[in-house]
Every structure is written in structure tokens, then in C-alpha cells.
Amino acid sequence: MDVDPLLRLDWGKAADLISGFCSGLVEGAGARGAVVGLSGGVDSSVTAALLVRALGPTRVLGAVMPDPRVTPGEDVGDALRLAESLGIETVQVDVSGPVDSLAAAIPGFDPGARVPLGNLRARVRMTVLYYLANSRGLLVAGTGDRSEILVGYFTKHGDGAADFLPIGDLYKTQVRALGEFLGLPREVVEKPSSPRLWPGQTAEGELGISYEVLDRFLVRVFDLGKDPEEAAGEVGMGRAEAARILEMHASSSHKRRPPPIPPVRETARA
């Protein structure tokens, strides 16, 4: 898979570095292994493959968590086939029931409010992952990549909640290239990314830009420190589009930080 020269890596070295990081972190925590949510997409598939390299298949659990109203059957099939090829155990949980129970319990719940409902669905999945982790002595491996982290394209305390992020330093196009290097199925590597929080949702459709262009802009601004206007010109992005991406980064900063705490002990000392 061809990527921008600024995004090219030694994919074998990258896989070894991430695998070593994962194994060291799990061992250091005294955990038995890791659980990862499998969506059938490239991020979760690459994460699972790297965990197997790091820990072995018997120490990796895959959680497949569809809501049949928003999750295509092909995604479930891709997730289960990947797990079988990796030799890992899977747990399948239909999250539609818990989502509906919470919706019924919340006063004034609005089923037409797409984003709150979608985020609720993501947070239910997070709850399932942490139950599985707690009950089996595992850590939760997140599947977020650098592209999504930088622009805040994830649900706070949903898919953004994890004990560690194996691919969090890789841009989306780098994750796809690494997936190809790892021998993952082409239909998974090239599948359009989607959190599957509502019917027909796609990441690029919601972001309004392809990951190829987004990554080329982000690496120039955030890794190389280039002026955003210069970076936009290099990748063929208009000023308005570049400004929108930078606003997404700024407005989502709270997602990348711990909750703020007022410095009471120092400033109110008697």
C-alpha cells in the first residue's frame, strides 16, 4: 500500500516495537492478557494481530459487540473470521438490549438525538469490555489511531476509554499499511472506517475528508511543525478545510486530557 513519503515506516520494526510495548505493559501490570473490541475494521484487526504477536493467542480475548440495528452483518463476519485466523477466543454480546434498557430508564430520552444515542452505544461497549477485563484479569486494549485522536473522532469514555493504545501513535493510512504488512485480509484493510454508532455512518463521510489527505496534513502540522497554511497548500487542501480540521483538534482537546482539577490545596492554604 502506497503512503505519503513522510508517513512511511519500517513496518516490521513498527510491528516489533508495538508488540514489545504491549507485552511489557501487560507483564508490568501483572495482567493475564488483553481484551480488544473487534469491529471487523482495520484498527481493531491490526490491534488484535499485534496483541497476538505480543502475548500469544491464548492471552488475547476478542469482544464482538454488534447492535443489529446499526452493525452490518458483514462486519460481524469479518470480526469472527479474523479472530478464527488469529486463534483467539471471542465473546459476542448484542448491545441493543442494554442500550434500550438505558434509554427506557433515562428521563426525557430522545431517540431522535443521533449523537447522544450513538455515544451511549459506544459507552455500553466500553462497559462490556471493562467487565470482561475485570472478570478475567485482563487489560483493555484500545483501538484508536493518531488521526482520530488528533481530531477528536472518538467517544469520550466510550471507544476512547482504554488501558493502553497499541496503534495510538500511527496515522490511519499507516495502520492500513501495517495491516497489509501483517497479512490481514484486503477487505478488512481497505474497508471504509466507521464507529457504527448509527445506520450508514462512515468516518470519512462525517469528517468530510479522506484519511489520505487528512493524514498528510496532520503529519506536516503536528509532527513537522509546519505552518498550517503551508501544509494545506502542499496537500491540496483549501484554507477553510484546514481551519475546520484545526478547529476539530482545538475543540476536542478535553478528550485528550485528564479531567481538570482546581488547585485548592495550594491556593487556599490558611
Where do the domains of the chain lie?
5-202
Q: Determine how many CB atoms are found less than 10 A away from the CB of residue 187.
A: 11
Nearest to 193 by CA among 151, 221, 224: 151
pTM of the complete model: 0.96
Assess whether pLDDT exceeds 90 at residue 32: yes
Assess whether pLDDT exceeds 90 at residue 67: yes
Assess whether pLDDT exceeds 90 at residue 203: no
Rounded Cα distance between 45 and 225, Å, is 31
Assess whether pLDDT exceeds 90 at residue 266: no
Banded model confidence at residue 134, pLDDT cuts 50, 70, 90: very high
CATH of domain 5-202: 3.40.50.620
pLDDT at position 9 = 97
Rounded Cα distance between 53 and 32, Å, is 15
Banded model confidence at residue 198, pLDDT cuts 50, 70, 90: confident
8 Å CB contact between 7 and 216: yes
Helix ranges (DSSP H) in 70-210: 73-86, 96-105, 114-136, 146-151, 172-181, 186-189, 203-207
User: Mean pLDDT of all residues in the chain?
Assistant: 96
Banded model confidence at residue 12, pLDDT cuts 50, 70, 90: very high
Rg, C-alpha atoms of the chain: 19
Nearest to 91 by CA among 76, 72, 69: 76
Collapse the DSSP code of 67 into the 3-class scheme (helix H, G, I; strand E, B; otherwise coil) and give the result: coil
Assess whether pLDDT exceeds 90 at residue 196: no
- Percentage, residues of the chain above pLDDT 70: 100
